Structure 1
């Protein structure tokens, strides 16, 4: 057994293997399920999930079936592999970049639609799949070892793993750090976060060993005794609901305010249990928003303003004369611009303190003792770290290899090799800002970072919409992937897992996910119109709309005024929220999230309403039910089952669709009301 894949304490002794076949295999299995799930929901709503907490929890349950259950460090490798596998649909642009290229119009954009074959999708995915993986080790030394940033999602996952394995709670400053966890923090001063609560209860149980009838009443026992049952029935309920909705589409398009508002103004309700589960606990890779009551309230506030006020105004004023749901001439396309302004303003303002602090740290007076401090704080021995030469060769190779592949897939007409190369450089620089923002606030503003790259490339290659989208995608991929993997490295740091073992898991997971994501996307393209009624791919329109604006400078009528107004308002709101969160002010949680508010514009009301149900359930459950050991973990298990149930059955639906099996009845759908009937 090689030295690197054995668990060691800080600077010390070897004990048991952690990079094992069982850990990686289970991680890949969970990751493939997440990959299909994320592609399905990403094409529907633009949102995907990192699901590190859920991966660790499900991995723990699966490992109980093995002759020897997995160790905490093996669980870290498992969930790291799962996250690397499951988040590729976003990193490779399957939910945004590729659908946007398929929407190109030669008259408007100077290029015909680009539809990649399966082999071309593999090539494109290979070009961006590993840059963020090789970028992570050097950033880890700065933000995790030297600066010790919180990375709340990674910290919460580490605490959960510690609870499940009866380890002392990792991290000494987590309580302060977790107060910045947007949408996941306590709703009043007497409540604690999931991670804080289970860690404190675990520590108490570890010290006291309280038993009744020989049974220890703690979170681990709850998970072992009830985890499978809760996961099974929640998974089954979501799966059955999804399958019924496939054969009877009106189930997921209930006209709650009458058929007229449903048909003409898209006011429907989708009682999807997966949407409800996402409203409970759902880490988001795009905005790093952790769902819950505060976030879902912000989202529904945006929905009311966007769809209840601005959409009718734009329609009746003649600014958006087309059908309401039309992304080009309808009200939905009109309010999309306001949504874009809000997201950019919120992301830019939230980045300002990070940029300021990072600039200060670069000054010699702030960094003269940095090297020695970093060395003193590193707890891992050299044989457990990723060697610097691997990082150098990997970064250089991934950039060169990626540039060649992008040129091979899109040609000179798409994007020049020098522009792709610059896109990787931009991705590296933006990754530092995104990772730092993520480490401090749990929010990775990759959408805003992607827009920054689009602005820069509009100046470098003016008029080239294809190059603008591709280069922005390359830059965003690095920032998003580095951020997701940094959360995992924070978990590993807290649980003393080998960074090198995690690095291997990331490489293996990313490699497999290239094939899985490309295959799944190709199957969806064959079975459905993308973008289309069933899978509108809203982020594709965000990418394409900004690229078109930068090419010809034309906005929908009177949308510019509303963009400036809402952008200015949410710049102030974001500044206030950032200030309050950094100073731990109690009222920070009551300030609306700009990104969540904008998502309420971007998606139809059915998206937000179902998640509000989940947010309310989460709030009431934590207030009145989750008062005993394991209560919070049980809620995570149920939410995970809801999400995975629909994600897995989506594969069944895809097979049925490919085989020509459609809806049994379109009763109640109306004209174009349900995607399953109108597609």
Structure 2
């Protein structure tokens, strides 16, 4: 659409008569004028502070269950709360200048770049996997990197994904206008926090040079995630108004109390370990002096953080996870043990039932990842072919004065991989707010050379060849196109599938080398994962008119800071706790290592192959049905089929974590039923955020206590009737 077209009458772009005065309006933001001043010291400083909290939280949850989150909503919420709570610091929080929505975008962008490094650098996956290798099975001793070697590894993968994201922005966000649900939801939350008209996809699709028009106080409403402004439903309006009231006071109290409750329970669980492993499933067997359920790792952990995760995940995902838990831990685990296929201790990831069912989970994850990538691969390929034919059919025609970019625009100013045609919206940002193409080219080359050199320096000739690392980066570049598109359409970044595809390829290119297989997969996954996560932030910035260049600066600063923060956090945990161990099972590391072993040595546990093939085929079929369900609208039951990845996670995590998440999922279900909009209300999301952040932050305190040798105050109830309760605390 031509950028000079008038705005729609729907949504929040209201036409104001020329004779209207300013009475009744809260704020005026000029049209067709870029918002400046979003990259500020205070936004970056607070973003780094929030990012450090998220980074440590993600290390904690990642090592425990493999769950790592962008937490973009939590970043924006927590950053805004800090500005509300600390107005007396004039250097960072001048009372005369409130935090702007665009500053909040830069803040959360910096925080996300800082907080997601544990996954991008493989600190909850490939690094523990290298430390779990054995001379007997892998032909070499474990690789345990020191602090500076780990810093060098993190630097090797820290920036390539950032430079990958910048050039993709124009194609997938500006031209194709992919939804990027989490990025859109974050933009809606920020608009709610700052009391500005909420953005919507309808507004984005018109892509004018306008920013915001004035909105009457009586009409101003804000939308939480899931709401679309402009709906005519009275229930939807009531939901919007209700959620608008949440952040006027009650929401902040809910965030504070949920944070306090979760943190207090975390500390109490450290002091009294029985709290973290309540023997509810042995209530009938304990009087007889046995603890059958505990011997099979069945107990209940009343973790509010996992309840919060369940609220965020939603009821369908937690249902799939718990079905997987029942199949894995109540059927396959006892079966493998009693038939002698897994003779070791139940909790062992090498010889026990836990390790045996892990292979079935791996088959499910590979099958779903590959099948789910097919439709998006086909779509991406057809789009590229179509654009290539359009480009080849004739010369480009530029319309003068059609956008702010038509003057003084050079090839170096922005990335334009495909031709514009009449159905595409042009870039509506001026060149000085974009990342120049020269920076992108230089950055990709420099980060690739840095990555290849540092990986070679860290792992040497016995690890991975430089050409193999370079190929891994090239693979990341290609697969990131698929990953970003999938994320934009479904909110799911298929990085696990991308990593496994890389492992399959490198089993052929560098056979017999488990280390090279793991590292190559990690390099490819890191680039694709980072590009996808940062694209969500760029979507947020696009909707709220934040400068892409400012976001790029925040991403670079956050990624650099997180190299040192994430490394320190990981070394802190591994020096204090046994990893893998009772408290931190590191399930993601087991997946990486077992697949590498399979591809290089071909050894599988007894009788596991039929189960891998059966479950793999079942979930390949389910994934295919879900991928093409838009072509089968008459079969409504497809929507109720379980998610393969969530089902497999039920295998990977001990039952206590899945049960707590189910409670949260049920809370999300009940609150959404009671909500006029049918969506999970904002208050539930706020409480869930407090639960997750509370345990994540206070776990740093318990980690410090443990590092100084402090132990539980009382081990009462642990080991009842010889059961495995409290094995991590006493």
Q: Same fold (TM over 0.5)?
A: yes
Aligned equivalent of 2:412: none
SS at match of 2:248: helix
**Aligned residue runs from structure 1 range 368-447, under 5 A:** 368=390, 370-373=418-421, 376-447=425-496
Give the Cα separation in 2 of the matches to 1:250 and 1:655: 20
Aligned equivalent of 2:362: 340
Tell me if structure 1 keeps the 8 A contact 2:433–2:549: yes
CA gap of 1:134–1:365, structure 2 versus 1, over 3 A, is: closer
Tell me if structure 2 keeps the 8 A contact 1:132–1:482: yes
How far did 1:665 drift? 1.9
The alignment's TM-score, normalised by the length of structure 2, stands at: 0.83
Q: Does residue 247 of structure 2 align to residue 223 of structure 1?
A: yes
Q: Does residue 346 of structure 2 align to residue 301 of structure 1?
A: no
SS at match of 1:47: coil
- 1:494-530 per-residue CA deviation (whole Å, 9 max, x = no partner) reads 1111111110000011111111100011111110111
Aligned equivalent of 2:398: none
Matching residue within 601, 605, 620 for 2:651: 601
Tell me if structure 1 keeps the 8 A contact 2:270–2:729: no
CA gap of 1:581–1:175, structure 2 versus 1, over 3 A, is: farther
CA gap of 1:86–1:10, structure 2 versus 1, over 3 A, is: farther
CA gap of 1:668–1:278, structure 2 versus 1, over 3 A, is: same
Give the Cα separation in 2 of the matches to 1:389 and 1:515: 28
Q: Does residue 284 of structure 2 align to residue 264 of structure 1?
A: no
Matching residue within 44, 65, 77 for 1:57: 77
Aligned equivalent of 1:569: 618
CA gap of 1:26–1:583, structure 2 versus 1, over 3 A, is: farther
Give the Cα separation in 1 of the matches to 2:182 and 2:119: 18
Aligned equivalent of 1:233: 257
SS at match of 1:676: coil
CA gap of 1:367–1:633, structure 2 versus 1, over 3 A, is: farther
CA gap of 1:479–1:174, structure 2 versus 1, over 3 A, is: farther
Give the Cα separation in 2 of the matches to 1:611 and 1:15: 41
Give the Cα separation in 1 of the matches to 2:59 and 2:99: 29
Quick check: 422-431 or 83-92, which moved more? 422-431
CA gap of 1:308–1:173, structure 2 versus 1, over 3 A, is: farther
SS at match of 2:323: helix
Give the Cα separation in 1 of the matches to 2:602 and 2:320: 31
Aligned equivalent of 2:725: 673
Aligned equivalent of 1:540: 589
How far did 1:58 drift? 2.1
SS at match of 2:729: helix
How far did 1:344 drift? 0.9
SS at match of 1:377: coil
Unaligned runs of 5+ residues in structure 2 are 1-27, 88-92, 206-222, 283-289, 392-417
Give the Cα separation in 1 of the matches to 2:120 and 2:545: 27
Give the Cα separation in 2 of the matches to 1:375 and 1:573: 35
Larger radius of gyration: 2
How far did 1:364 drift? 4.8
Matching residue within 312, 321, 331 for 2:343: 321
Aligned equivalent of 2:696: 647
CA gap of 1:535–1:496, structure 2 versus 1, over 3 A, is: same
- 1:23-42 per-residue CA deviation (whole Å, 9 max, x = no partner) reads 11121111111000000000
SS at match of 2:197: coil
Give the Cα separation in 1 of the matches to 2:30 and 2:452: 40
Aligned equivalent of 2:536: 487
**Aligned residue runs from structure 1 range 59-78, under 5 A:** 59-64=79-84, 65=87, 66=93, 67=95, 68-78=97-107
How far did 1:630 drift? 12
Aligned equivalent of 1:159: 188
Give the Cα separation in 1 of the matches to 2:203 and 2:351: 49
Tell me if structure 2 keeps the 8 A contact 1:40–1:647: yes
Matching residue within 279, 285, 289 for 2:310: 279
SS at match of 1:241: helix
Aligned equivalent of 1:46: 66
Matching residue within 98, 117, 131 for 1:88: 117
Give the Cα separation in 2 of the matches to 1:534 and 1:174: 47
Give the Cα separation in 2 of the matches to 1:23 and 1:83: 13
Give the Cα separation in 1 of the matches to 2:715 and 2:500: 40
Give the Cα separation in 1 of the matches to 2:548 and 2:30: 13
Give the Cα separation in 2 of the matches to 1:18 and 1:403: 34
How far did 1:72 drift? 1.3
How far did 1:127 drift? 0.3
CA gap of 1:59–1:582, structure 2 versus 1, over 3 A, is: farther
How far did 1:330 drift? 0.9
Aligned equivalent of 1:179: none
The alignment's TM-score, normalised by the length of structure 1, stands at: 0.89
SS at match of 1:108: helix
How far did 1:164 drift? 2.8
Aligned equivalent of 1:197: 227
Matching residue within 127, 140, 160 for 2:169: 140
Give the Cα separation in 2 of the matches to 1:429 and 1:410: 25
Q: Does residue 671 of structure 2 align to residue 621 of structure 1?
A: yes
Give the Cα separation in 2 of the matches to 1:129 and 1:312: 42
- 1:456-491 per-residue CA deviation (whole Å, 9 max, x = no partner) reads 111111000011111111111001111100111111
Give the Cα separation in 1 of the matches to 2:598 and 2:115: 32
Give the Cα separation in 1 of the matches to 2:374 and 2:677: 41
Give the Cα separation in 2 of the matches to 1:352 and 1:573: 14
Quick check: 72-81 or 253-262, which moved more? 253-262
Give the Cα separation in 1 of the matches to 2:340 and 2:468: 40
Tell me if structure 2 keeps the 8 A contact 1:202–1:218: no
Give the Cα separation in 2 of the matches to 1:588 and 1:493: 34
Quick check: 615-624 or 336-345, which moved more? 615-624
